């Protein structure tokens, strides 16, 4: 017995009553079929409806042949709906209307790309954070690319269609011949049971294409559409965008972020870009000054260390660096890698870490591998340089003492 599909002709049905026609239990799931359903199954790039059948939550909906299978959540095999039972059903309307807005927005934008640039939609995805369409420029090959500016032009045209509140109709045809009388933007892929979604009139359609999804009755219910970016994709152009309440939510989020940043810079939103650029220029100057100061400080520390090396016959030299990070110490250590006869241990007080350096006579990496873990240290390296990082200075000191005793 096939399922009567209320979602095809009654997209605004939120609650209904249905008779259970089958219950199917497997190791992985339990599914039921109904004599009629308003639950849209996954298809056409659109996710399925969720909701409740009786007291059971609907977790998934799939169409198989003429039947629609509803996967329900249940933990007790004895607590199942029975065949023939009449049950109240309701769909998650917020999810459904969200899908309707987004799907219709995709139709409108795809129709505009076709009208403006001869771009054919060859791929559609409704993701969690955005939607994408993949546009192929096969109808107007003289147009070689879609730029972001072109996408914004399409966005403006799509929003004009939305604001015109054009009717959205679904027409059903039994044969390809009859369906092809419509002003389709895309060739049909099947021969029978064809649903054509038309935005606007057939004589002046903003979009007209075969689709099995759910859509609002007027374009105005989409609300708005926003394009995010354009990128090249497999010889086509992938357009990232959003529509409906999701586009509004995204705008609100980004507006709040921009407002907070503008307030942080004591600026209006309009003046924020110039204020930010000025701050970036100042930061670049500060970074350059810091680089020059570190360079000078490194030279001072190298001169100190050179004097210590020249005056000492010790096998191990420990040199503390008060204002150096571990990376700063490593960069300083490049002056001594593979050159120093003694083992040099540069200590970064800031990061509680040692940089070990030698000419290879003493294997720096082996020392870290063998002894650092004794004092909760970690790190590694090779014969001429290695790093040893500790959780506190006491452990770093114990590691240094052990290395010095080992090399006496």
Domains 4-91 and 97-253 share a fold: no
> Of 331, 346, 326, 337, which Cα lies nearest the Cα of 299?
331
CATH number of 288-406: 3.10.310.40
> Quick one: pLDDT at residue 29?
87
CATH number of 4-91: 2.40.30.130
What are the tokens at 141?
Answer: 């090959």
> Quick one: pLDDT at residue 2?
86
> Quick one: pLDDT at residue 19?
96
CATH number of 97-253: 3.30.980.10
Neighbour-count burial for 217-232, b at 16+ CB within 10 Å, e otherwise: ebbebbbbbbbbebee
Rounded Cα–Cα distance for residues 292 and 320 (Å): 21
> Quick one: pLDDT at residue 83?
94
* Mean pLDDT (10-residue bins), the chain, 408 residues: 89 96 88 96 90 95 93 83 95 96 96 94 92 92 94 97 95 86 84 87 89 93 97 95 97 95 93 93 95 94 93 92 94 92 94 95 94 95 96 95 90
Say if residues 343 and 316 touch (Cβ distance below 8 Å): yes
How far out from the chain centre does Cα 341 lie?
52
> Quick one: pLDDT at residue 340?
87
Q: Is the dihedral of CA 268, 269, 271, 277 positive or negative?
A: positive
- Domain boundaries defined on the chain: 4-91, 97-253, 288-406
């Amino acid at each position: 017995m096939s399922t009567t599909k209320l979602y095809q002709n009654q997209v605004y049905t939120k609650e209904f009553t249905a008779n259970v026609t089958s219950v199917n239990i497997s190791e992985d799931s339990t599914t039921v079929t109904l004599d009629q359903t308003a639950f849209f199954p996954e298809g056409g790039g659109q996710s399925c409806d969720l909701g409740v059948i009786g007291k059971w939550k609907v977790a998934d909906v799939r169409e198989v042949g003429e039947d629609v299978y509803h996967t329900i959540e249940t933990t007790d095999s004895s607590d199942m709906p029975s065949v023939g039972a009449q049950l109240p059903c309701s769909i998650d309307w917020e999810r459904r209307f969200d899908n309707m807005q987004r799907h219709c927005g995709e139709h409108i934008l795809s129709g505009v790309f076709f009208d403006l640039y001869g771009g054919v939609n060859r791929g559609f995805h409704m993701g969690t954070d955005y939607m994408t369409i993949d546009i192929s420029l096969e109808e107007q090959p003289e147009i070689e690319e879609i730029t972001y500016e072109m996408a914004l032009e399409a966005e403006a045209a799509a929003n004009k269609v939305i604001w015109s509140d054009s009717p959205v109709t679904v027409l059903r045809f039994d044969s390809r011949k009859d369906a092809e009388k419509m002003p389709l933007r895309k060739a049909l892929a099947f021969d029978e049971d064809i649903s054509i979604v038309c935005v606007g009139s057939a004589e002046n359609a903003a979009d007209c294409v075969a689709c099995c999804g759910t859509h609002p009755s007027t374009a105005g219910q989409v609300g708005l559409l926003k394009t995010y970016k354009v990128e090249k994709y497999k010889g086509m152009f992938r357009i990232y965008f959003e529509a409906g309440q999701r586009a509004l939510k995204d705008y609100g989020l980004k507006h709040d972020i921009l407002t907070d940043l503008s307030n942080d810079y004591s600026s209006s939103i309009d003046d924020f870009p110039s204020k930010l650029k000025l701050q970036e220029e100042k930061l670049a100057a500060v970074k350059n000054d810091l680089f020059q100061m570190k360079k000078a400080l490194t030279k001072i520390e190298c001169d100190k260390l050179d004097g210590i090396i020249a005056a000492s016959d010790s096998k191990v030299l420990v040199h503390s660096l008060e204002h150096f990070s571990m990376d700063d110490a490593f960069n300083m250590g490049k002056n001594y890698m593979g050159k120093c006869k003694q083992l040099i241990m540069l200590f970064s007080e800031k990061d509680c870490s040692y940089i070990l350096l030698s000419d290879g006579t003493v294997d720096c990496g082996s020392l870290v591998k063998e002894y650092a873990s004794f004092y909760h240290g970690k790190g590694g390296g090779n014969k001429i340089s290695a790093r040893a990082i500790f959780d506190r200075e006491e452990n770093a000191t114990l590691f240094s003492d052990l290395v010095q005793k080992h090399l006496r």
